[in-house]
Amino acid sequence: FYRLTFHRSHRDLITGSYIKHVLEKGKVVAADNRQRKLFTNNPSSNWSYHKPSKWSHVAFKHPSTFDTLAMEPSKKREIMNDLLKFQRGKEYYERIGKAWKRGYLLYGPPGTGKSTMTAAMANFLNYDVYDVELTTVKDNTELRKLLIDTSEKAIIVIEDIDCSLDLTGQRKTKKQEKDDDGEKADPVKRMAKGGEESKDSKVTLSGLLNFSDGLWSACGGERIIVFTTNFVEKLDPALIRRGRMDKHIEMLYCCFESFKVLARNYLGIESHPLFTSVRQLLEGTEMTPADVAENLMPKSDDEDEEACLEGLIKALEK
């Protein structure tokens, strides 16, 4: 350890502003050097006094950043500015009387980079990621316990939320509810369904609304909640309204600006004579960034950037 010595005339300076400055700098260094973690929820059957953690984790090492993200530069800057404003907004959120959290809805076709965006957000903010698997959560109470057990400076993400639970806004009629109750009481009907209803998650839309924006959502600070979906129109409007999902980000098919990012990532080039043909084709073709990236990736050591670009052009022309 180190020993700090100073003249007694400097005592007030050292014990006041200097020590405070050292502690603040130490917190910044510790935050910058800490290893980010990726968490997943454990089944409640594994919760016990001997293993109280409701989450398992591994080191978060996803390489995605906003520099490598295939998206229009202006849109990336808008998202980055929004994230920074949130991260620095503790006093602002206290002043307006809101929990220090923010919701992001990422929606768009498969392959447009929703998971990659989440990873880029985590790397940009230096936050942990909690990946909630809703289908293993038994009920609303269990979901609430998982929320309480998350840390600050974290992104809580539920991917493909339209597939996780029946949250599509299709409210049951009384007849449907009565029929369902009859099936639960009838062992023959239960067997016809494979007896699986006892394993199904009992998390409700109301439970998820409270998770994202209820009283319990304020039990910690500096947290971002991310929902992703391929079919935003299927979700109940109450789930994605402003105030719950504050920022809606549509992940689009690959445009020319996104292509240039991918060309730089995969081929190490900023320009090429074939770029003009690619631009013209992308304007009239819907291809996801994932498909563009696959076509740009060299398949052998002999395949140069021109061969990869020609392969992409052929794929776009199909």
Same domain, 206 and 284: no
pLDDT at position 168: 53
Distances (CA, A) of 258 to 26, 269, 299: 39, 14, 21
Pairing type for strands 247-250 and 101-107 reads: parallel
Is 224 strand, coil or helix? strand
- Whether residues 101 and 5 share a domain: the answer is no
> Are residues 161 and 79 part of one domain?
yes
Same domain for 54 and 69, yes or no, is yes
Cα(first)–Cα(last) distance of the chain, in Å? 67
Do 94 and 233 lie in one domain? The reply is yes
Residues 66 and 18 in one domain: no
pLDDT in tens, 246-276: 999 999 999 999 999 999 999 999 999 999 9
Q: How confident is the model at residue 179 (pLDDT cuts 50, 70, 90)?
A: low
Residues 297 and 264 placed together within one structural domain of the fold: yes
Asked whether residue 227 falls in the same domain as residue 286, the answer is no
69 within some domain: yes
pLDDT confidence of 52, banded at 50, 70, 90? Answer: low
Closest CA to 105 of 204, 229, 217: 229
Contact between 208 and 165 (Cβ < 8 Å): yes
Q: How far apart are CA 279 and CA 259, in angstroms?
A: 9
Question: Treating both helix axes as pointing N-terminal to C-terminal, what angle do 289-296 and 256-267 enclose, rounded to 10 degrees?
Answer: 40
| Separation CA 117–CA 133 (nearest Å) | 18
- 40 with 29, same domain: the answer is no
The pLDDT confidence band at residue 197, using thresholds 50, 70 and 90, is very low
Domain region containing 268: 256-317
Indicate if 126 and 10 belong to the same structural domain. Answer: no
Residues 29, 122 within the same domain: no
Q: Domain count for the chain, please give it.
A: 3
Confidence (pTM): 0.80
